[in-house]
Amino acid sequence: MTALLSASGVHAGYGHVEAVRGVSLDVPAGGVVTVIGPNGAGKTTLLAALMGLLPATGHVTYDGADLADLDVEDRVAAGLCLVPEKRELFAEMSVADNLLLGAYAHRRDRAGIARGLDDVYARFPRLAERRAQRAGTLSGGERQMLALGRALMSRPRLLMLDEPSLGLAPLIVREIFHIIAGLCETGVAILLVEQNARAALQSATYGYVLEGGEIALHGPASDLLHDPRVSATYLGGDAH
Amino acid sequence: MTTELALLLAQDGVATGAIYVLVALGIVLLFLVTRIIFVPFGDLVAYASLSLAALQAGQLPGTIWLVAVLAVLAAVFEAAGLLRAGRLNRLPRALALWLVLPLLPAALALGLAGRDIGDAAQVLLTLALILPIGPLLYRIAFRPIADAPVLVLLIVSVVLHFAISGVALLCFGPDGARPRPLTNAVVDVAGMIFPGQALLILAASLIAGVALYVFFTRSLTGRALRATALNRVGARLVGIRPGVAGVVAFLAAGLLAGLSGILIGPVTTLFYDSGFVLGLKAFVGAIIGGLVSWPGAVLGALFVGQLESFTAFYNSAFKEVVVFAVLVPVLILRSLASPAEDDEEAEEL
């Protein structure tokens, strides 16, 4: 299968501090790929670099085209979408307005926006109940749903999720992963960055382990799940 | 006080208030989209009025020199940015947008100066001259620090005010000028005399208020502009370009400032430094209304107009003192009414 997103030798960082050093990875169209690793391994930096939020060197192609010439807004229009760790919602706007703005890249297609809004409300009934409420007043789980919903409104072909389970109660985490599983059935490719390695590897088909800004290990997710090196470090050693 | 006198003072207050409404709307617009408290807004109003007066007197308006200097600076900034990013292929487009386009009205004014082109053309030319100033100032002074806290943006804004009102002294000299009114009509309603120009100002401020309210609450583009102020990263992630949003806001604000100057100038003579107090009083009105609310800005500015009119009657020496002093109780009341909002503001700073 040809890769939707293909990165090779990506370096990125903040000023002189290089947080990502020569990372290569592939995300196939419609596939779920996860990047796991400890805190500070460079996972968030990697996603920010792929999205164009940070300057990066290396070669990244998306749908066969070089990403170097595209800025963040162009990448959104091309179907690349990042749900960041901090969610980055518009706290003082209503849930409905947040979702509508998610479709900004397709703002001329009014009928399509209305359909997308219906889809999101069907997928997240909680958001439909709270559509007039200010985003800043939502609970942690609802904010994550809103962030996912806003991302879906942009009609992504590749969804990059940064720690979608961070700071959420275990029950909500299960719900979020259930939603992610539902998303990949719609054909959208997902690049999932997680500290919750077990849940991430169970959702994904392929996995990368990022350590100190470099890929330490990669392989099919089911292999990684049973790999002793992974289970000792990331799964608490009780994988079996 | 007799009823007749009170009505007369109220009428005068509405006329003054309508002036502040136009300016307050511009200040709220820029704050909503860019988080900038744009102190030089009043200066742009003065520039518009003085430019129109100069055109009517058959002179070359000094505004063209300000525009020329700003356009050259902006072009240098753009070129340097593109050079650093290694994207020199975009240079022709950048130069066309930031150098050629802003200079077009200035060149036109240079060519037409001293010729009689008619009232309407003079008004349009004035608007076209004022329009590029806002976006150019934004490009040069604010876009490089767009992520800075509100306080830093405010300090830069104050510095810009001193710079461009100083340039106004160079361009127009220390004397005030009064452009001709757009209309000399007088409307008589039940014995009360309304000058046509005051009605024009009132109509313009109400139309601008309603239009901005509808645009920002109903249209997706309006919400997108607002979103860039709430969360720049979030806005970029849904495909909104904050830089473009800032330019659009400054263009709209420039239009408001130009319109204000053209309408206000014939009513009150504006000097090169009149803009500051004008902007400050409108700012008080906007603050009374909450600084992020359109109806609030309109009502707050009208209230300031009334306050000024009535205090001027009782003791004209205190009219400015009262307008600014009223801020203290208003801010105390507002903070009591919404303590939660204040926490968020503090976080943002």
pLDDT tens digit sequence for B277-330: 999 999 999 999 988 889 999 999 999 999 999 999 998 888 888 989 998 998
Whether A92 and chain B come into contact, CB under 8 Å, resolves to: yes
pTM to 2 decimal places: 0.88
Shortest CB distance from B238 goes to which of A53, A76, A136? A76
Shortest CB distance from A105 goes to which of B226, B230, B239? B239
Rounded to the nearest angstrom, the minimum Cα separation between B231 and chain A is: 6
Whether B227 and chain A come into contact, CB under 8 Å, resolves to: yes
Residue-level pLDDT at A237: 52
Confidence of residue B346 (pLDDT cuts 50, 70, 90): very low
Whether A105 and chain B come into contact, CB under 8 Å, resolves to: yes
Set of chain B residues whose Cβ sits within 8 Å of the Cβ of A107: 220-221, 224
Residue-level pLDDT at B343: 43
Contact flag B223-A100 (C-beta cutoff 8 Å): yes
Say yes or no to pLDDT of A238 above 70: no
Mean pLDDT for B187-199 is 83
Write out pLDDT tens, residues A162-209: 999 888 888 888 888 988 888 888 889 999 998 888 889 999 999 999
Residue-level pLDDT at B341: 47
Contact flag B239-A76 (C-beta cutoff 8 Å): yes
Share of chain B above pLDDT 90, in %: 67
Write out pLDDT tens, residues B209-225: 999 999 998 999 999 99
Residue-level pLDDT at B89: 87
Contact flag B234-A81 (C-beta cutoff 8 Å): no
**CA-to-CA separations, A54 to A49, A147, B232, in angstroms, rounded:** 5, 21, 14
Say yes or no to pLDDT of A240 above 70: no
Closest chain B residue by Cα to residue A160: B237
Set of chain A residues whose Cβ sits within 8 Å of the Cβ of B293: none
**CA-to-CA separations, B249 to B106, B162, B245, B256, in angstroms, rounded:** 22, 22, 6, 11
Residue-level pLDDT at A122: 94
Write out pLDDT tens, residues A85-98: 999 999 999 999 99
ipTM above 0.90, yes or no: yes
Segments making up each domain of chain A, as ranges: 1-13+28-79+157-240, 90-155
A-B C-beta contacts closer than 8 Å: 68
Contact flag B234-A104 (C-beta cutoff 8 Å): no
* Cα separation, A58 vs A49, whole angstroms: 10
- With 0-12 / 13-18 / 19 or more C-beta atoms within 10 angstroms meaning exposed / middle / buried, residue A45 is buried
Whether B226 and chain A come into contact, CB under 8 Å, resolves to: yes
3-class SS string, chain A: CCEEEEEEEEEEEECCEEEEEEEEEEEECCCEEEEECCCCCCHHHHHHHHHCCCCEEEEEEECCEECCCCCHHHHHHCCEEEECCCCCCCCCCEHHHHHHHHCHHHCCCHHHHHHHHHHHHHHCHHHHHCCCCEHHHCCHHHHHHHHHHHHHHCCCCEEEEECCCCCCCHHHHHHHHHHHHHHHCCCCEEEEEECCHHHHHHHCCEEEEEECCEEEEEEEHHHHHHCHHHHHHHCCCCCC
Rounded to the nearest angstrom, the minimum Cα separation between A219 and chain B is: 30
Write down the CATH number for the domain with range A1-13+28-79+157-240.
Answer: 3.40.50.300
Rounded to the nearest angstrom, the minimum Cα separation between B217 and chain A is: 10
Say yes or no to pLDDT of B53 above 90: yes
Confidence of residue B334 (pLDDT cuts 50, 70, 90): confident
Confidence of residue B344 (pLDDT cuts 50, 70, 90): very low
Say yes or no to pLDDT of B26 above 80: yes
Residue-level pLDDT at B340: 54
Shortest CB distance from B239 goes to which of A77, A86, A93? A77
Write out pLDDT tens, residues B233-289: 999 999 999 999 999 999 999 999 999 999 999 988 899 999 999 999 999 999 999
Confidence of residue A1 (pLDDT cuts 50, 70, 90): low
Sign (positive or negative) of CA dihedral B18, B158, B40, B59: positive
Shortest CB distance from A105 goes to which of B221, B226, B238? B238
Rounded to the nearest angstrom, the minimum Cα separation between A64 and chain B is: 21
Shortest CB distance from B237 goes to which of A82, A91, A97? A82
Rounded to the nearest angstrom, the minimum Cα separation between B264 and chain A is: 35
Contact flag B239-A51 (C-beta cutoff 8 Å): no
Set of chain A residues whose Cβ sits within 8 Å of the Cβ of B343: none
Annotate B190-253 with DSSP letters as a single string: TTEEEEHHHHHHHHHHHHHHHHHHHHHHH-HHHHHHHHHHH-HHHHHHTT--HHHHHHHHHHHH
Mean pLDDT for A215-230 is 91
Other beta carbons within 10 Å of A117: 21
* Cα separation, B94 vs B87, whole angstroms: 11
Set of chain B residues whose Cβ sits within 8 Å of the Cβ of A79: none
b/e code B40-63 from CB counts within 10 Å (16+ = b): bbbbbbbbbbbbbbbbbeeebbbb
Say yes or no to pLDDT of B191 above 80: no
